[in-house]
Amino acid sequence: MKYLDEYRDGDKVKAQLKALQERLTRPWQVMEVCGGQTHNFLKSGLDGLLPEGITLVHGPGCPVCVTPIELIDKAIALARQPQVIFCSFGDMLRVPGSKEDLLSAKSQGAEVRMVYSPLDALKIAEANPEHKVVFFAIGFETTAPMNAMAALQAKQRGVNNFYLLAANMLVPPAIAAILSARDCQVKGFLAPGHVCTVSGYVEYEEIAKQWWVPIVVTGFEPLDLIQGLYMLITQLETGSWKVENQYRRSATRQGNLAAKALMEQVFSVCDRKWRGLGPIPASGYCLKPEYADLDAEKVFQIEDITAEEPKECIAGLVLQGRKKPTECAAFGKKCTPQHPLGAPMVSSEGACAAYYQYGIKLRTS
C-alpha cells in the first residue's frame, strides 16, 4: 500500500479484526508503548472493537508525560533569569512543575516563547545577541537528531548565546524497566514506529531475547494498529518471542544511519530520571564534554534543583501501565486539560488526555 487512506480502509480493518478474533484462544495483556498509538486506538474506536481477550495497557511513550517534575522546575528557573529567552515546544508550556508551569512564568514577565524546532530557537539567538537563549530539548530518539543539529550549527556558526536544556530519553531502557517489575503482567509490546524509524530496532531484539517477550514495531493508523496486534497475538499464541516490523514503509532494523551518526557526534548516553518510572540507567542523552558550553544545566548552575511528584496524581502508575486514567480519583474533576495535575492530562500524547478527549473507557478486563 502506498497511500494514507489505505491504512484507514474500513473493510481492511474489519478483515484484520476477524483474523485477530480467530487467532485468539486465551486472554493476553499487551502494551502499546507510544501515546500516539493510545490516542489513535481511542480516536478510531478500535478499542471497542477488539476481542474481549485482549487487554491494552498504556506505556510511557509520551516524552512530555515522562519528563520529571524537577526538570520542569529547572526550566522555569531558567526562564526567570534576567536576559534569558526560554524556548520550548508548545505542549510543555502547561505541564505543571512543583508550584507553577512555564505559561504562568510567562504571564509574570518571563520571556518564554513557543517554537516548532530547535533551529527556530537558534535563529532567535542569532537575532538577539544580547540575550541568552535556551531551548528545552525534550523528546525521544525522534527529536534528538534535531536537537543535535541545533547544537552542531550553533558551534559552526559561532553562536555563543545558545543553550540546550538537554532532556532526550531513550525508549528501550524504559521497556526493560517495566519488564523488570516483579508484578509485570505485560506479555507483549507494540513498539513506536517513529522512534524505530530513527534508531532502528536492534536494541529491542536484545530485550525480546532477555525477557522472552514479543515486540512488534507498529505504525499509527487503524490498519497499522490492528496488523501490529495480529502479529503480536500470533507470536504469543505460538510461543514465539522476537521483534517483527509491521511499519516497514518507514522503519528499518538499522534505522536512519545519518541521524544516528549526528546524535553520536553531539550526545552521549547517560542515566536519566523518568516521571513515574524513576531513575533508569543509560536511558537518556546528555551533551558531550565538547558541547559543555551549550549545556544549560551546567552553565546556569541549576543541577541541584529537585522536586517530588504530587501524591494525589497517579501519573506514574498510568505511565507504567499499572492503572487506567479513570482509576484516578482526580480524573475529570480536580484534573482536567484546563487545570491539570499531571503531564498525561496536558500532552497531546498523554493517556489521561486521550480518555478525557474521547470520553471512552478502554476495556480493563
Question: Mean pLDDT by 10-residue block, N- to C-terminus, for the chain (365 residues)?
Answer: 78 95 96 93 91 92 90 96 96 90 96 97 98 97 97 97 97 95 92 97 97 97 96 97 97 98 97 91 97 96 84 83 87 86 82 83 40
- From the centroid of its chain, how far is CA 93? 16
pLDDT at 357: 86
The CA distance from 73 to 304, in Å, is 11
Which residue segment(s) compose the domain that 275 sits in? 63-181+229-333
* Total-model pTM: 0.90
The CA distance from 331 to 336, in Å, is 7
The angle at the Cα of 267, spanning 262 to 268, to the nearest 5 degrees, equals: 130
The CA distance from 248 to 176, in Å, is 24
The CA distance from 174 to 60, in Å, is 8
The CA distance from 202 to 347, in Å, is 29
pLDDT at 335: 87
Contact 343, 67 (CB under 8 A): yes
CA Rg value for the chain = 21
The CA distance from 225 to 223, in Å, is 5
The CA distance from 6 to 13, in Å, is 10
**Residue 5, in any domain of the structure:** no
How many DSSP H helices and E strands does the chain contain? 15, 11
| Of 23, 84, 64, 71, residue with least CA distance to 231 | 23
pLDDT at 334: 87
The CA distance from 274 to 296, in Å, is 19
pLDDT at 106: 97
For 178, the grid coordinates are 517495566
The CA distance from 232 to 227, in Å, is 9
Other Cβ atoms closer than 10 A to 210: 12
The angle at the Cα of 222, spanning 220 to 224, to the nearest 5 degrees, equals: 55
Contact 329, 338 (CB under 8 A): no
The CATH number given to whatever domain includes residue 323 is: 3.40.50.11740
For 282, the grid coordinates are 543509560
pLDDT at 349: 81
- CA-based torsion, 137, 138, 140, 143: positive or negative: negative
- From the centroid of its chain, how far is CA 328? 21
- From the centroid of its chain, how far is CA 194? 11
Contact 87, 115 (CB under 8 A): yes
> 45: phi > 0 → left, psi -120 to 50 → alpha, else beta; which?
left
**Residue 170, in any domain of the structure:** yes
**Residue 276, in any domain of the structure:** yes
Contact 134, 87 (CB under 8 A): yes
**Residue 192, in any domain of the structure:** no
Contact 275, 52 (CB under 8 A): no
**Residue 89, in any domain of the structure:** yes
| Of 118, 62, 110, residue with least CA distance to 89 | 118
**Residue 155, in any domain of the structure:** yes
pLDDT at 365: 36
Q: How many domains does the chain divide into?
A: 1
**Residue 238, in any domain of the structure:** yes
**Residue 294, in any domain of the structure:** yes
